[in-house]
Amino acid sequence: MNSRNLTKQWTMAFIACVLLLASLAIAPLRYVAASEGGYVIGTGRVVPNTDPMQSSWLLTSHGVSEYVYQQDAEGNLYSRFIKTLEKVDSNTWQAELNEGVFFADGSEVDAEALAASMNEIQEKNELAQATAGRLIFTADDSYQMTIATERETNVMMSILGEWTNVVFKQAGDEYIYTGPYQVESLRPQEEIVLTPNTYYPEANQRQQVTLKAFQDETAMRLAFENDELDMIYPISPDLKEQLEAAGEVTKSIDAGYQYFMTVNMTQGPLADSALREALDLGLNREEYLQALKGGYEATSLFAHYFDFNGDIAKRFDPETAAKILDDAGWTLNEDGLREKDGETLALNLATLSFRKDLVLLSTVIASQLEGLGITCQVEALDNAEDLDATSGYDLLLYSQHTAPTGEPSFFLNQFYRTNGPKNQFGYSNPEVDQLLDELGAAKESAEVNQLAKDIQEIILAEDRPVLLVIDPQWHAAVSEELADYSIYCGDYYIVNDQLGLDTYGE
């Protein structure tokens, strides 16, 4: 072989190696999905559709979509998409993306794709603007992205972990996500069948998952006891006790959710601050702990384990509550009802039908108000998102995870900033708005905690646009195979990427 032919062969080999390496660099790693077995989960809600503007939270709870940052079982935020995130100036952030993260169709989540996803959410979902105003995402190159904010913030990681901010792309009428599972079939609000996303790590260890919605807890219990379900969550404390007595495996977690009543203080009798104070004193919160057979007395708007949760004692003082009502002109008539100018004091209380705890608590609250001479009409709604001050309700008994990313500003801005996207009953206090601006600019955790507590003090001890109810625990029952499966952060990650990984193949 002469030197010219040898050189030619080495050159061809070198080119082949380069082409092979290049193809490996751009091709997504695809995992082979497990094909046998599967888990069936009974729960309260199944997603109505796969639209990220309407169903981002449930899709992530089902394991289909992912937030840009998510919480792990230890409460830490992490991102599969962003490698580094740095603040450049008051209203600008720079993100470096990880390479090799893919949508379920095998296309890469590069800076252009991530920016397009986030910008569409900013345009179509005002809830995404709660913490720092409008955000604009710009792809600088394949893996560099600039984020511009309308208001200053020091919690960009947390903002990108808010439940509105799921990573998605659209192909025709289909939405494509990045989570550990993808949708195989969907019967809206009834059943969703999921198969492993073969472009998500460890897909070869995952199995099919089916989530079924149950409105009747007895039916869910029977299905679980007949081994038709591998997990049921959340369940009532009564069902938890019954299943424990039957030898089943149960779990209890600090939900992170808070139960509270939003007050219509712009219309109706509760526009009078004296009546709001009377109600606050007339609620016996110890009875809520008894009704739910556990949980914690709420001392402010966040779960008890957060450093930014306030410590505002709520005393039960029905005598003082009665005197405040008397002084406000609402005196007891011969039927034992509060009456003023020939009109009895009647309140309309709305709650959520799919939260069984709330339905139970609404009857306890109505009974307590009747003890004060106040008539209370309760209505359980399928959805309360469209309620406002003109809807005819005086109180909304609601549940909300108030710190799903481990910091307070998202919830406080949503519910208590003037014209905030979840400020349904029109609360407004310029001092609170100013403190929220300061909270956005605060850098040190001690300052953040104190500002959050100051805001809660004004809200809960002075204005009372909300009345505390309980800091609850939630419960689940699982098969022995899932005994070690971690449920955390309320129902944000019912199906997470650890489902079945410890047990598959055993």
Q: What is the pLDDT along the chain (506 residues), one digit of tens a residue?
A: 444 444 445 545 544 444 444 444 445 555 544 445 699 999 999 999 999 999 999 999 999 999 999 999 988 999 999 999 999 999 999 999 999 999 999 999 999 999 999 999 999 999 899 889 999 999 999 999 999 999 999 999 999 999 999 999 999 999 999 999 999 999 999 999 999 999 999 999 999 999 999 989 999 999 999 999 999 999 999 999 999 999 999 999 999 999 999 999 999 999 999 999 999 999 999 999 999 999 999 999 999 999 999 999 889 999 999 999 999 999 999 999 999 999 999 999 999 998 989 999 999 999 999 999 999 999 999 889 889 999 999 999 999 999 999 999 999 999 999 999 899 999 999 999 999 999 999 989 999 999 999 999 999 999 999 999 999 999 999 999 999 999 999 999 999 999 988 654 44
Long-range Cβ contacts of 106-111 (<8 Å, 24+ apart): 106/28, 106/30, 106/199, 107/169, 107/176, 108/28, 109/81, 109/167, 109/178, 110/139, 110/142, 110/143, 111/139, 111/140, 111/141, 111/142, 111/143, 111/144, 111/145
Q: Are strands 338-340 and 343-344 parallel, antiparallel or unpaired?
A: antiparallel
- Residue 465, preceding bond cis, omega within 30 degrees? no
- Asked if the 66-176 domain carries CATH number 3.30.70.3270, the reply is no
Q: Quote the tokens at residue 281.
A: 């004193």
Parts of the chain belonging to CATH 3.10.105.10: 257-471
Contact 409, 449 (CB under 8 A): no
Q: pTM for this one?
A: 0.85
Parts of the chain belonging to CATH 3.90.76.10: 66-176
Contact 396, 384 (CB under 8 A): yes
* Domain 257-471: top CATH class: alpha beta
Residue type, 116: A
Residue with the two structure tokens 């306030």: 310
Contact 209, 92 (CB under 8 A): no
8: which residues sit within 8 A by CB, 6+ positions away?
A: none
If one counts every other C-beta atom within 10 angstroms of the C-beta of residue 199, the result is 22
